Structure 1
Amino acid sequence: MSLKILLNQIRNLNSLSATITKPHRKNYLRTYPTLMVNTDGSTYTIRYHEPRQIITLPINIWTLSEAERKERLDRRKPKKKVKIEDDLEDDFDSKKYLKYLKK
């Protein structure tokens, strides 16, 4: 008889209970605490399946001012590579150091 009472007191969990409340466990398997940053700068912590520290949501550039939009679009473009030309005069004389070679 006491077994029936204990079984009735156990919480009935099914597939619908997770939509109403949070999962009742201390460790969430295969998830990592990650900081989510919204476009307005607000942050909150989520559980993410990959180990990342911060996830930032993309900003709609059409809501920015003209100067900010131009700055962000310039940052997206690839940087131009600077060509460096070496104009070294080669006045090295190897015969000058022949006396230091051992035979």
Structure 2
Amino acid sequence: MLELRPCCEHCAATLAPDALEARICSFECTFCARCAEGLLGNVCPNCGGGFVPRPVRPARNWKGGNHLGNYPARAEPKLRPVDLEAHAQLVAALGGLPPERR
């Protein structure tokens, strides 16, 4: 299951488990929408993949015990501020390829 990381890896903006502005890549790198879509241009600085909205885990037990109470979000932040110069080189190397073709 997803870790539901508590903040943007770049700017440290708080991303609660139900945050609609949370974005993740296929490796669960987690960024706020402002960083993922604006600053990073939908290119994950860690893997080169694209971002999608992070799913929201149910707050209550609707079925089978699969909810935040049994599977809480990660509490420890994972901060890895982006080296924007290196990121620009990665974006250039991708040559405009869409996420599904990277």
What's the TM-score, normalizing by structure 1? 0.23
Say which structure is richer in helix.
1
Structure number, greater radius of gyration:
1
What's the TM-score, normalizing by structure 2? 0.23
